[in-house]
Structure 1
Amino acid sequence: MVMTEEMMDAIEKDNVVFFATSTTDGTPNVVPIGFARPIDNKTIMIVDNYMNKTHKNLENNPKASLVLRDASACPYQFKGTAEIIEEGKYFDEAVDWAKSVMSKLAPKAAILLKVEEIYSVQPGPEAGKKVD
C-alpha cells in the first residue's frame, strides 16, 4: 500500500498526529506526536522525544497505527510495522529536525512506520473501509 501525494502532504502539514501501539497482551496506548512526516510513499518517520510506554510497546510488538489530528484534511488511518532506529541516517535526520524546531530536544530514536494498510476514517458509510 502506498500513500498518495495528498496523504503525504497532509501528514507533513499537520503538527500533531496520534500514534497507537499496544502491549503484547493487547493493552492499547495512544499518544500525541508533534514530529511525524513521510520520508517516502510507504514510510512515515516519527521522532521519539519522550516515548516511554510507546517505545517499550514497539520493542515487544512493532504493529502500530497513526491518524492525523485534523481528519478533515486527511481522513485516513495508517497501519503498519514500526522499526526503532537509534543510530545512522534516519536517526540523524530525526535529531536535526527536532533540534531545528526546539534546540532543547534530545530525541531518543527515529521510528519508521512502514505503511501496510490504509483505512478511511471519514464519517459515513465508508468509515472503516480499507483503501485499495
Structure 2
Amino acid sequence: MMTPEMMDAIEKELVFVATADEEGTPNVVPIGFARPLDERTILIADNYMKKTIRNLHENPRIALIPQNARECPYQFKGTVEIFKSGKYFDMVVEWAQNVMTELEPKSAILMTVEEIYSVKPGPEAGEKVA
C-alpha cells in the first residue's frame, strides 16, 4: 500500500497526527517518532502524549501527514492498537532511547494504514490513491 518513497518521508520527517475523541472533537499534534515497519503498518512512540493517547483509547481511528507535503503529498488513515509491553513497546523504547537517552516512552502505537489520500494541490486533492 505505502510506496518506499512514502515510507521514507514518514520516517525522516516530522508527521502531524490527527485524532478525535468519542464525541468527535479533533486534536492534531506533531510527532517526531513515527516509523513504517512495512507497507501497511506505522509504529509511533508515545513519549509525551496526553489528549492523543486518550483519544485513541476512546476512538482508535487516526490520520497522519508528513510535514513536507510537497515531497510526500499524502494523508494516511487507519486504526491503531496500543501496546504497553511486548515486542512493539520494546522496539519503541530502544528506538527512542537511542535518539535521546532520557526518553521513557509510555506506549507503542501500531497504526494499520487502511487508506491513502492525495493532498497535492489541484484537481487530485482529496482523491483516494490506495
Same fold per superposition (TM over 0.5): yes
Corresponding residue for 1:8?
A: 7
- Tell whether 2:103 aligns with 1:122: no
CA distance, structure 2, for counterparts of residue 56 and residue 65 of structure 1: 15
Q: What do the CA deviations read for 1:62-85 (whole angstroms, capped 9, x no partner)?
A: 001000000012100000001111
Structure 2, unmatched stretches of 5+, are none
Distance 1:118 1:84 in 2: 21
Amino acid at match of 1:104: E
TM-score (ref. length: structure 2) = 0.98
Q: In the TM superposition, what whole-angstrom CA distance separates every residue of 1:2-60 from its partner, at most 9, and x where no partner exists?
A: 1111111111221x100000011110000100100100110011100000111110001
The SS at the match of 2:24 is coil
Name segments (4+ residues, structure 1) moved above 4 Å: none
Q: 1:1-132, aligned counterparts within 5 Å?
A: 2-14=1-13, 16-132=14-130
Cα RMSD of the aligned pairs, angstroms, is 0.7
Equivalent pairs counted in the alignment come to 130
Q: Percent identity over the alignment?
A: 65
User: CA–CA distance in 1 between the matches of 2:127 and 2:50?
Assistant: 32
Q: Distance in 2 between matches of 1:13 and 1:59?
A: 27
Residue ranges of structure 1 left out of the alignment (5+ in a row): none
TM-score norm. by structure 1 comes to 0.96
**Offset from partner CA, 1:71-124 (integer Å, 9 cap, x none):** 012100000001111111110010000000001100001101100000001011
